[in-house]
Amino acid sequence: MEIKNLLDKVRYPSDLRKLKQKELGQFSKELREELVDVVSVTGGHLGAGLGVVELTVALHYVFDTPKDKLVWDVGHQAYPHKIITGRRNEIRTLRKGGGLSGFTKRSESEYDPFGAAHSSTSISSTLGMSVAKKLSKDSNHVIAVIGDGAMSAGMAYEAMNNAGAMKSKLIVILNDNDMSISSPVGAMSSYLSRLLSGKTSFSFRETFKLITSAFLKRFKDKDTKPEDFFRDKISGGTLFNQLGFNYIGPIDGHDLDSLISVFKNVKNSNYKGPILIHACTKKGKGYKPAEDSGDKYHGVTKFNVITGEQSKSKSSTLPYTKVFANTLIKHAEKDTKIVGITGAMPSGTGMDIFGKNFPDRMFDVGIAEQHAVTFAAGMATEGYKPFAAIYSTFLQRAYDQVVHDVAIQSLPVRFAIDRAGLVGADGPTHAGSFDITYLSTLPNFIVMAASNEAELVKMINTSVSINDRPSAFRYPRGNGIGVELPSISEILEIGKGEIIKEGKKVALLSFGGRLQECLKAAKELDNKGISTTVVDAKFAKPLDQKLIIDICLNHEVLITIEEGSIGGFGSHVFQMLSERGIFDKGLKIRSMILPDQFIDQDTPENMYKIAGLDAKTIEQKAIDALKSNIVIPINKKFS
């Protein structure tokens, strides 16, 4: 490991606090260099961490962490925090199997008081900590660091409204880098821009003067409280003040002297209510390739430190996300009622591609999944065909809206569910584990899962034609398998599966992306003399009841396979068979689902092995079922 004079002296924040303040600039430089070096090897989130180096250093320098609780919203900007909180020796295991999480994680370190990976949770969680500390008569501080992008979510305002009303002791750092993953959207972004255009970020001298005058000087007007004076001088009465926060800023988030001065004064003040410090930073700060990049190197693969060139995928096949975008564009060229909606993830969902072609028909609503779903429902009432492209893990944040605003009203909103199944390095917080279950339980819904990119095209085509109820199609992260894509005129018959390979003894009924593993397992079973059928179910709702019952009547073993939790496709198959009263002849029926655990980050291949959804485990499941004496009787007379 390269020797870094100051960085090598700091293992924990207690070591950092032993440094002289004038040394912190050099320390920050070394920390930033270490971050670039680390992520060039591990890949992951880089730009956000580069932007908060000085914030990280100043916070740990002033506050007594871990006694003072520091919560990073989302957590992808917490790599510098991890390096100086006892994890530098492990930092090159980031996002790898058995290594450090790419986000904050309570079980990983006492310096991570709250695990995060979905945005806009920091103010709510720290408010909870603050109230708990008050009840326990604990005087330590709680600090939330939230980005301007995360401030587009309603949950942040719900928390601020509650904190202001309770006058809780809470410090919120608004890390304003004018960018989350993509360019910011919404009124909050415009509002923050107006705050910045109205005044220059304060220098150390200006900040010190304002802080000391507000908090330490006596005033001739005895009726004027220091905090009121401070608000008038600095903020001129802001939205944050109206929510009950004492607003400070904007200040330069890369000026260590300014940051430390503000943090010390806030820490030592007797102000009783919540405080919001507006710090302006630059995402990708200090690494030119990141500064010059459109996304500021938000998420990167391994890269060359000198040139910034990222490793390119060796796959010659198209990513599912691009297949979705290209197909939707073809439909939108013919149908002006088609619109696209995303929640601050245009590049992640392919909506950026759609938006370039139809800028007036693509709507990025910010990190606001609840709003995105009901917004789509509203458009559907007016005859439009909204495609809400939302990751599986993020759609669950809007479940109430899916139920009440879409399903109950049977509105034809189309849900394009990206990142279905296990996603690799982002770990359990980003895994699409539950959408089959939480959507298939809903009346009026059509739920599909693509086994390859050609099936994805057919499902998009099909959803365009569904105008009387909501529909959803799920597809995995990554690239397709390289099959030829059909035309946009080819649609599926609703609720009909397809036999891909016929056999006589074992039937593998696959829903979604495990179809190729089922085919591999079937080949090995055939080689062992076990004739195997493989079915692509395509639909979890409605089920292809006739096909499934025919399989049950003509096979000894039926195994359902899906990339989802209990209560999903397999559960619906079992329920249907039970309700249809199929008895008298033995059927050995099994279900293969994601296990009842959260699977930590690893490669997708390893994660599926851990989950028991790989070809070898499918093969063994069939063999074990054939040997088993546990059967479900079947009525051969049923028709």
What is the distance between the alpha carbons of residues 148 and 48, in angstroms, rounded to a whole number? Answer: 12
Q: Please report which residue ranges of 136-200 form alpha helices under DSSP H.
A: 154-166, 187-198
Q: Please list, in sequence order, all residues whose beta carbon lies within 8 angstroms of the beta carbon of residue 475, skipping any fewer than 6 positions away.
A: 320, 324, 416, 417, 418, 420, 449, 450, 456, 513
- Catalytic residue (choose from 30, 34, 227, 369): 369
Q: Which of 95, 385, 397, 621 is catalytic?
A: 397
The SS3 of residue 471 is strand
585 belongs to the catalytic site: no
Rounded CA-CA distance 449/471 in Å is 11
Helix axes of 320-334 and 453-465: crossing angle, nearest 10 degrees = 30
Looking at residue 93, what DSSP letter applies?
A: G
Among 87, 283, 419, 514, the one annotated catalytic: 283
Instruction: Verify whether residue 588 is a known catalytic residue.
Output: no
**What does the alpha-carbon distance between residue 448 and residue 328 come to, in Å, rounded to a whole number?**
17
Q: Which pair of structure tokens corresponds to residue 47?
A: 């730009």
Tell me the two tokens of residue 171.
């410090």
Tell how strand 385-391 and strand 362-364 pair up: unpaired
Handedness of CA 98, 101, 102, 108 (dihedral sign): negative
Is-catalytic flag, 2? no
- Greatest distance between any 2 Cα atoms in the chain: 97
Unique residue bearing structure tokens 């959408």: 435
Using an 8 Å Cβ cutoff, are 285 and 259 in contact?
Answer: no
Apex CA 184: angle with CA 182 and CA 189, to 5°? 165
d(CA 397, CA 374): 13
Which residues are catalytically annotated?
283, 369, 397
